Amino acid sequence: MSDIKRITKKRKFRKDNTLYLLLRDPLGRAGFMGIALIVLLAIFAPYISNFDVAEIHSKDRLQAPNSTYWFGTDNFGRDIFSRIVYGARVSLIVGIVSVSIAAGIGFILGIISGYFEGRIETTIMMVMDVLFAFPSILLALLIVAVLGTSIVNTMIAIGIVNIPVFTRTVRASVKSIKSLDFVADAKSIGLKDRDILIRHIAPNSLASFIVQATLALSSAILTEATMSFLGLGIRPPEPSWGSMLSESRAFMELAPWMVIFPALFIILTILSFNILGDALRDVLDPKLKL
């Protein structure tokens, strides 16, 4: 009996905890901190911002950054810093929710179509090819036009548009993993298809999936910006980084801070997610665990 107690105990003290390994890696730490910063901005937006996002200071239009307006003001005299802090909420939520929709559905469809051949695969891939055939912005606009303009529908639209990419990536890696010996071994052990998929194929196809997810996150934030610009995303005066960027277009030479700050935050967010994704992929590789 003492043997058994020891077995379970040892398991708990293992240092192969993903978060632990992630934070030990300098790049992982950098990405994690970048995202933490944005998340904190989004959560504590009311305490951080100096002004209301829609508050118009008609005397102080297009002010350069100064001690009152840290990042300057826009053409209506609204405080850019406050808008960026609130915009973090929109951008993060849109990015995360829409990528979760796309990644979740895409992953499941990809695994199923990669593992089961024949009619299921053909049907799924046919639908994906149809989705793929539309330019993504056009498709997203179409979906929003059907569902109606709202932030939730924007997220759904961006999510649907991104499903095919995930399905394809995951299916490709499942197909290559399926032919490996350990899958045949799992079958010879007598595992159910479901368990082979969940325990053997899915974990091993995570690497390309995670990279794809971080890429999709950045493109989702940008798609939201484009849609807001076209008037089918976030409704003004609600700020999002994308819409701020597009509003600044006309004033770029006059007030470059209108472009620079939202762009900086978009870059910071996307870069952090990409770095984190990279580090996460490395950490999830069992060969790096000691």
Partner 1 sequence: MSEYLLTVKNLKTYFPIKEGLVKRTVGYVKAVEDVSFSVKQKQVYAIVGESGCGKSTAGKSIVRLIEPTAGEVIFDGKNLSSLSDEEIRLKRRDMQFIFQNPYSSLNPRMNVYQLLSEPLKTHFNLTENEMQLQILEMIDKIGITEDQLWRYPHQFSGGQKQRISIARALITKPRFVIADEPVSALDVSIQAQVLNLLINLQKEMELAMVFISHDLNVVRFISSEVAVMYLGSIMESGSTDEIYQKPLHPYSKALLDAVPNIDPLKKKRRSSLKGEVPNPANPPSGCPFSPRCSRADDICRKEKPTLSFYKGRNIACHNPLE
Residue numbers at the binding site for partner 1 (CB under 8 A): 1, 3-4, 6-8, 10-11, 14, 180-182, 184-192, 195, 199-200, 203-204, 286-287, 289
For residue 164, give both structure tokens: 């095919």
Beta bridge partners of 79: 73
User: Of 10 and 119, which has the nearer Cβ to partner 1?
Assistant: 10
**Helix 257-284 and helix 206-229, axial crossing angle in degrees, nearest 10:** 160
User: Of 138 and 180, which has the nearer Cβ to partner 1?
Assistant: 180
Cα of first residue to Cα of last residue in the chain, in angstroms, is 29
CA–CA separation, 131 and 226 (whole Å) = 19
At closest approach, how far in Å is the CB of 180 from partner 1?
6
Q: Which residue has the tokens 């307006």?
A: 69
User: Of 20 and 182, which has the nearer Cβ to partner 1?
Assistant: 182
- Quickly count: other Cβ atoms within 10 Å of residue 13's Cβ: 6
User: Of 94 and 111, which has the nearer Cβ to partner 1?
Assistant: 111
Phi, psi angle pair for 73, to nearest 5°: -125, 165
At closest approach, how far in Å is the CB of 210 from partner 1?
14
CA–CA separation, 248 and 23 (whole Å) = 37
At closest approach, how far in Å is the CB of 209 from partner 1?
14
For residue 43, give both structure tokens: 């959560």
User: Of 46 and 203, which has the nearer Cβ to partner 1?
Assistant: 203
At closest approach, how far in Å is the CB of 219 from partner 1?
29
User: Of 149 and 204, which has the nearer Cβ to partner 1?
Assistant: 204
Q: Which residue has the tokens 């904190």?
A: 40
CA–CA separation, 46 and 34 (whole Å) = 20
At closest approach, how far in Å is the CB of 104 from partner 1?
21
At closest approach, how far in Å is the CB of 1 from partner 1?
8
At closest approach, how far in Å is the CB of 124 from partner 1?
19
- Quickly count: other Cβ atoms within 10 Å of residue 237's Cβ: 14
Beta bridge partners of 73: 79
User: Of 249 and 289, which has the nearer Cβ to partner 1?
Assistant: 289
Cβ-contact 205, 213 below 8 angstroms: no
DSSP state of 188: H
